[in-house]
Amino acid sequence: MNLKAGLIGLPNVGKSSLFSALTKMNVEIANYPFATIEPNIATVEIHDPRILQLTKIVKPEKTVFATYSFVDIAGLIKGASTGEGLGNKFLANVRNVDCLVHIVRCFQDPKIIHVNNEINPIFDIQTINLELIFADLGTIQTIISRLAKKANNTNDKQVKFEFELAKKVEIHLKNGKSLRDLELDSTEILQIKSWQLLTIKPVLYVANLDQKSIQNPDANPYFWKLKSYLVKEKAILLPLCIALEQEISQLDEEEKHLFLKEFLLEKSSLDLLILHSFYLLDLATFFTVGKKEVRSWTFRKNTPAIECSGIIHSDFKKKFIRVEIISFDDFVQAGSEKVVKENGKMRLEGKDYLIKDGEICHFRIGN
């Protein structure tokens, strides 16, 4: 599955630095707006702790992690929805990602320019969210204009459904609210996604802190205000010191351990960021386990076994017979597939079985 998370935010908030830390790539990082014009794209491994545990037990020849792409998108400014700054390019790039990682500056540093000349994380979030709302409003009004004549001159239920939904969406956007906050059923959500509206995309907020705040983020007044503000949105807010994470990403394992110890940190927060952004998309993981390879595979929740088999190879879907299922906990407790079978903990399921997150699957296929 080629899924992408877009790193967004105002210019100079740490997007490119975070991208560098996540991907260990050196991208242009500059102390002026719009250093990023064309988006940088890179794929990272999802270090799910469960696959590390399976690797320790099985000791395979290799371990293959599920992957996920991050896109470093140009900084947005007020007026982007009408083309200000790199507005049109920014909005086009946002349309092409599956979820958003919104980076917000929560530190003072006179050497680093702020596009609004003041540190105000709530205003920064409102600026970007409002531009995305304006962009969606323009899109939905075009859709309403296209559907209006059809809806008034047809009995087609689908056309009428789309027209009524578009009007419902327009009213909500005119109230200055993101579509994430609108109560929708699954059919409405699918339709809105087909219109490529931006504010329906799930968001993870990252508070970019200074080093002295990382051990106690709540002591940082910018973070505390931001955290209180986002409670009503029921959004995930992850505190990160991006400068620190960028330094850590360049170290070898031994140096990394010493560096983290110096800052009283157990581990880098980047894996947590990757996992959070991954789960925003309602994704799950199943595993295949063998002496040659332990591997994690990404799938959307509530996907039938036959569809999951096709993620491994299209032939698996065509020749699917059944799937052997072992729960992660049963495998870890038993210590091997052989003992799991002896304990009667392995079961056979058919093509319509909905694979669950963390299950170990062995797909049986015909000739």
Model confidence over 129-174: pLDDT tens digits? 998 999 999 999 999 999 998 888 888 999 999 999 999 999 999 9
CATH number for the region 302-365 comes to 3.10.20.30
13 annotated ligand-binding residue: yes
Strands 320-326 and 347-349: antiparallel
Cα separation, 329 vs 332, in Å, equals 5
Asked if 78 contacts 127 with a C-beta cutoff of 8 angstroms, the reply is yes
Place of tokens 């702790």: 49
What residue has token string 């086009």? 92
- pLDDT score at 296: 96
Confirm or reject CATH 3.30.1130.10 for domain 4-279, answering yes or no: no
* Contact partners, residue 339, CB within 8 Å, separation at least 6: none
> Minimal CA–CA distance to 240: which of 25, 4, 7?
7
- Check residue 96 and give left, alpha or beta (phi > 0: left; psi -120 to 50: alpha): alpha
Tens digits of residue pLDDT in 168-183: 999 999 999 999 999 9
CA-to-CA distance for 37 and 306, rounded, in angstroms?
A: 42
Angle between helices 121-152 and 87-95 (to 10 degrees): 70
210-257 residue pLDDT tens: 989 988 999 999 999 999 999 888 889 999 999 988 888 888 878 888
Amino acid at 32: Y
The pTM is what?
A: 0.82
The answer to whether the annotation marks 15 as part of a ligand binding site is yes
Domain ranges of the chain: 4-279, 302-365
Determine how many CB atoms are found less than 10 A away from the CB of residue 127. 20
